[in-house]
A and B are shown apart, each in its own frame.
Chain A
Amino acid sequence: MRLTQAEERMLNGEEGYIKKKAMTFLVRYGEAAGAERLIDLDGTADFHPGLYASWFPETAITLDEIKELAARGERFKVPTFGNKPGSPAFIVHGWEDCGVWPQNDPDCHAEYLARMKPYMQMGMIPALSCDYYLISSFLPTAGQHCAWGESSAIPWVNAILGARANYDGCFEAAYLGKIPAYDMHLDENRKPTRLVECQVELKTDMDYDLFGWAVGEKIGVEVPVITGIGKPTYSQLVKMNSTLNTGGQVRMYHVPGLTPEAPHPGEVAAMKFKEKYSIDRNDLKKVYEKINYASKRSVDFVYLGCPHYNIIEIQKVVSLLKGRKVRVPMWVMTNPWTFKMAEQMGYRDTLVQAGAALLSGTCPGMMEGCMPPADVIATDSAKQNYYITGFIDPRPLQAWYGSVEDCVEAAVTGKWEGQWS
């Protein structure tokens, strides 16, 4: 890799030990990725803050080192947002209601929160969410280079915002303001390589969740032009992005009329694609059947909020649950700022009165399977559904999947009644 003189100085340790560590990581990473150089970030960065916020535990910038930087008054080079906390994950709000130890232990929670402080002193904004981009109040603009993470966020930054990021947000990138220039940072890798025509009218949130999975599974790591998806809501786009990056690894796509780098419909008609795919209702049904991985109708735990629910999604659950009681534990997970808004609107109280819990900042997957004891769970998220059984393995876990309405009914009755319609 070609380095600038300033980068060489950091690599040689002339700017101190911590910068040397950070630059050593970026150079090793860039060389393995086949990058020719580092690029200066001019957008934003995120990472999972915790005992460390690096990709490699062995060479991570440690929390003590981060404290040292913070004490010296050092700051992140670009606006930096905390993704869901990691190493270890924890419930940011509503933990008192979660019913699971050690998450509901006040001392434990205080310790977790204290860990966020040095990051915040360096300027990290504690959005602490997988969909922090919905609430961050500051986003990169088209063409800006970023270092992000998270399944739903990577297509969001590339496709929806037209900014540029690979799946590599970390402390080192935010601190030095640099990242290897390859893949999504380069024009040639962002152009469409496949065409996906949606042949079914997508209506519900679940339709978009399933559609994203079906597309991801068909095209893998390619960059599709997607047509025929109508006018998805924000909730639907977030869901679709999360499953594009679960059924496959779609970090960039184009929707004419919706995404900033998309070709015009006329141009699409004239383009030559190596492969074309169409997705119909039967493709969605196949995903639905694959995701539904259960036979026992009794449900022990209901999880909503993957990706973290926005305020409109919370509003819907509240209206479905008002005046009713859940028979089994139900978590409604959101991001910390939406939690505050929901609390102000009385939604947290409504949910708690119904026996459910409004929580923020993590998910059972992020907590590596930490949730109320369950042999059978139900969720409206294909992503969470498909990972959670893997976290629990070798203990068997059955996982139902359906609409938010199906899930709330299951929480109230303790029985799964959802079906394909």
Chain B
Amino acid sequence: MSKKAEKIVLKGRKVIGGVAEGEALVSKVPMMGWGNVDQKRGVTTERNHPLFRIPLKGKVFVFPEPRGSGGWIFYGFTKFYGTNPVAMVYRKGLALTVLAALVMDVPCVTDLDKNPIEFIETGDWVKVDGDRGVVEIYKNGKEKSKR
């Protein structure tokens, strides 16, 4: 992976349609649900986690996979408090992520041709096109992509 590349495109599968963009917030390790999500604050409350108490609001939330209980749905409930991310991208999901994504109802892509965790870093500008299953990554900072 080259950090100098201006734009990287990953192709995957739509979970939830729509288009959104924003700054990436990346977890290199799995995200845990149930008690370790506070939907009101829109944060993970998992002790030891790199994203402990870091708000997901407005971010493109990128992570490898879920772990733990079906209470993962609480990530979806962030929508009811306006603390939700604007889009989600994950390497591999299952019932937990699908159900949460449906509640959150923001553009969401998975099953990509490359592991998103190896290509997206926190702070990258990322555009998620849920309908086409396309994720565009802009390495050169926080300029908005051309619409």
Contacts and interface: CB of A to CB of B under 8 A. Distances in A.
Partners in one complex: yes
A32 B73 contact: no
A368 B65 CA distance: 24
Interface stretch (B94-102, B120-128, B137-145): B94-102
Contacts of B99: 29, 55-56, 168
B98 A32 contact: yes
A390 B35 contact: yes
B98 A220 contact: no
Nearest to A148: B70
A150 interface: yes
Q: How would you classify the secondary structure of chain B's contact residues: helix, strand, loop or mixed?
A: mixed
A183 B92 CA distance: 12
Contacts of B103: 55-56, 58
Interface string B95-116: 1101101110000100100000
A249 B96 contact: yes
B16 A387 contact: no
Contact of B65 (A33, A56, A183, A220): A220
Nearest to B44: A390
A251 B94 contact: yes
Contact of A390 (B16, B37, B111): B37
A389 B15 CA distance: 31
B30 interface: yes
B67 A248 contact: yes
A34 B35 contact: no
Interface string B28-67: 0010101111100000111110000100000000001111
A144 interface: no
B82 interface: no
A334 interface: no
Interface residues of B, number: 38
Contacts of B96: 167, 249
B30 A29 contact: no
Given A32-B15, A55-B103, A246 B95 contact: no
A224 to B, nearest CB: 14
A390 B47 contact: yes
A290 B48 CA distance: 9
Contacts of A391: 35, 45
A365 B66 CA distance: 19
A80 interface: no
A247 B29 CA distance: 11
B69 A166 contact: no
A247 B68 CA distance: 7
A155 interface: no
A168 B95 CA distance: 6
A419 to B, nearest CB: 21
Interface in A392-419: 393-394
A34 B95 contact: no
B102 A56 contact: yes
A216 B32 CA distance: 12
Interface in B1-27: 13, 15-16
Contacts of B44: 390
B117 to A, nearest CB: 12
B70 A249 contact: no
B65 A249 contact: yes
Contact of B102 (A29, A220, A221, A393): A29
A393 B44 CA distance: 10
Contact of B38 (A183, A365, A387, A393): A393
Given A34-B13, A390-B36, A29 B98 contact: yes
Contacts of B64: 220
B67 A247 contact: yes
A394 B52 CA distance: 11
Nearest to B43: A393
Max chain A CB contacts within 10 Å: which of B38, B64, B94, B108?
B94
Interface in A163-181: 166-168
Contacts of A57: 77, 80
Nearest to B111: A34
A251 B94 CA distance: 10
Contact of B92 (A58, A150, A221): A221
Contacts of A167: 70, 94-96
Q: Which of B30, B44, B76 has the most CB of A within 10 A?
A: B30
A57 B76 CA distance: 11
Interface of A: 28-29, 32-34, 55-58, 149-151, 166-168, 183, 216, 220-221, 245-249, 251, 290, 293, 365, 368-369, 386-391, 393-394
For the complex of A and B, the 10 pairs showing the least CB-CB separation, nearest first, are A387-B35, A390-B36, A393-B45, A390-B45, A391-B35, A390-B35, A167-B95, A166-B95, A168-B95, A33-B98
Given A183-B95, A246-B67, 14 more contacts: A55-B73, A56-B102, A150-B70, A151-B70, A220-B65, A221-B67, A248-B67, A249-B30, A249-B96, A387-B69, A390-B32, A390-B47, A391-B35, A394-B53
14 contacts: A29-B98, A56-B103, A151-B70, A246-B68, A247-B67, A248-B67, A249-B67, A249-B94, A249-B96, A251-B94, A389-B47, A390-B46, A391-B35, A393-B45
